[in-house]
Chain A
Amino acid sequence: MPNLAGKSYAFNAFTPIGRGRVFLCRLAFVLIRLASFKIVQKLLYKVSLVADQQRLVDLSFIHFARWTIVRRRDWPNFGDGQPGDSPVYAYMLFASNFNGQWEQYIDAFSAVVPGGMDLIWNTNVGYPGAKPITRFLAYIRQNQFDTDYYYSAYPHSATSDIRGALDLVAQMSAFAERTESIAPTKFKDEFERFLISVSHDLSTTGRAPWADDPDEPIMPRTPIPRDESPAAVEQDEQLAVWGPA
């Protein structure tokens, strides 16, 4: 399935921004960016929007995500007989790389950061609100575009695996430095203390529990030869008349 690369899911959605509301949409993103600054997080941690930022980080299943405002004039036109495009609405392109299943992802967004979702999508036409989840899921599903080709440099690893691995390397370097000149008799105790401190980082990676082999192409490189046997020909004729069963 092209939306998947191992454990990673590529999500794309174009949603129309209400006419004359692009400025408000941009303002919402400016507020979100301000709320991500450390100093703001420290001072205003009780403010819902600021707390949402930390919750989003804590969700720990997003590799990369982006929101891009595509203005009406942003659809490129190179001439050469191509008809130009200037749609009725500006659009918000939301593209994300996350691990897990589609419904779980949207569900978590809706449950954990509903305020942030509302702030971002409120300027969008037809947005039903992050809660209740059913209408939000339907809205996202309706506006989703399937991916035709997807690559991830680490398809067998979830975001939390990667964060754990990076933390393990940092902690291991610090431990090695700390115990560089320690007496050999004391090393084992120190090593056990180190193991306890990094136990949450020692996850194992591997193939996803669902059926996507990231090394398999979606279609074979050469077309499969047509089956010309009488049984196959008869089946094709039946399908042509009656359609698939």
Chain B
Amino acid sequence: MSNVFGEAYGLTTISPIIDGRTDGVHHAQELRATLARLPRGRHSPFASVSGTHTARWFVVDDLISEAYPAKEDHLNSKYLVFIADFDGALEQYVSSLVASIPEVIDSVWGHCVGYPGSSRPLAVLDYVRDCQVNTTLYFGGYPGASVENVLRALLVQREAIQFVEQTRQLPSGELQAAFRRFRDRMEKAPTPAPGSM
């Protein structure tokens, strides 16, 4: 099992979608429409779940069969796959999901069999564990960097380019003072909003 790489945790869950309709709502169709209507980028619900590097949902309607002589392969249910890369431990992240975006996870996983609802946080954690498939090999491009580290570093990078352009002509002593002010400003600057960089 290698769900962890550096500081990041790689979560993969596969949840069976409720078959057919309930009260006229076709679950797989409604689930796809719900996902398509979710805000994206810096307005995404995941922007408010701290520590989320990336997150995705996709629906598996059926398996894709390879050409003969491979055997045809099918699923009886449709499945919702959730994949996320986040900082910290699974328990902490699931509790953040439940606390920060309860309506969103209910509107998505509410179409899946066995989902207990965000009003029962511990049961949601058990549900996620029941649906989890352990990662066999996990790879990250910048191990050890949290979302906050990355966002702050990108801010410094953007500001540093401007700083270099603005201070090119300054004499040595003034440049030193300006550099100290720049470092001080960067240390005090708020972390950019997730999804904005």
Q: Which residues of A line the B interface, CB within 8 A?
A: 2, 5-6, 8, 10, 12, 14, 16, 26, 29, 32-33, 56, 60-70, 74-78, 80-85, 87-89, 91-93, 95, 97, 125-126, 142-143, 145-157, 159, 161-166, 168-169, 172, 176, 179, 182, 184-189, 191, 195, 201-205, 213-221
Interface residues of B (CB under 8 A from A): 2, 5, 8, 10, 12, 14-16, 18-19, 32-33, 35-44, 46-47, 52-60, 63-64, 66-67, 70-77, 79, 81, 83, 85, 113-114, 130-131, 133-142, 145, 147, 149-154, 156-158, 160-161, 164, 171-173, 175-176, 179, 183, 194-197
B37 in contact with A87 (CB, 8 Å): no
B172 CB contact (under 8 Å) in A95, A154, A184: A184
Residue from the list A5, A63, A155, A185 in contact with B173, Cβ < 8 A: A185
Known contacts A62-B141, A82-B16; decide if A68 and B133 are in contact (CB<8 Å).
yes
Task: Give the distance in Å from the alpha carbon of A150 to the alpha carbon of B40 in the complex.
Answer: 8
Asked whether, in the complex, the Cβ of B60 is within 8 Å of the Cβ of A78, the reply is no
CA distance A218 to B47 in the complex (A): 17
Instruction: Check B141–A159 contact: CB distance below 8 A.
Output: yes
The 28 sampled A-B contact pairs (Cβ below 8 Å) are A6-B41, A8-B54, A12-B58, A26-B136, A62-B139, A62-B141, A63-B85, A64-B53, A68-B133, A76-B114, A82-B113, A83-B19, A85-B76, A87-B74, A88-B71, A97-B85, A153-B46, A153-B54, A154-B150, A154-B197, A162-B142, A165-B154, A169-B156, A176-B183, A191-B175, A202-B161, A215-B43, A219-B37
B54 touching A10 by the CB < 8 A rule? yes
- Are A67 and B135 closer than 8 Å at their CB atoms? yes
B156 x A56 contact (CB < 8 A): no
Contacting residue for A5 out of B40, B77, B131, B171, CB 8 A? B40
Q: How far is the CB of A28 from chain B (nearest CB, A)?
A: 9
* Minimum CB distance partner of A156 in chain B: B197
Question: Cβ of B153 and Cβ of A165 under 8 Å apart?
Answer: yes
Which residues of B sit under 8 angstroms from A146, Cβ to Cβ? 58
Within 8 Å CB of B179, what residues of A?
176, 187, 191
B157 and A168 contact, CB distance less than 8 A: yes
User: Is the Cβ of B37 less than 8 Å from the Cβ of A221?
Assistant: yes
Beyond A142-B64, A214-B195, 17 additional pairs, beta carbon < 8 A: A6-B41, A16-B63, A33-B2, A62-B141, A64-B139, A75-B79, A84-B76, A93-B12, A149-B35, A149-B40, A152-B195, A153-B47, A154-B154, A157-B197, A162-B154, A164-B157, A203-B157
Query: Could you tell me if B19 and A82 are in contact, using CB atoms closer than 8 angstroms?
Result: yes
* Chain A positions within 8 Å of B12 at CB level: 66, 68, 93, 95
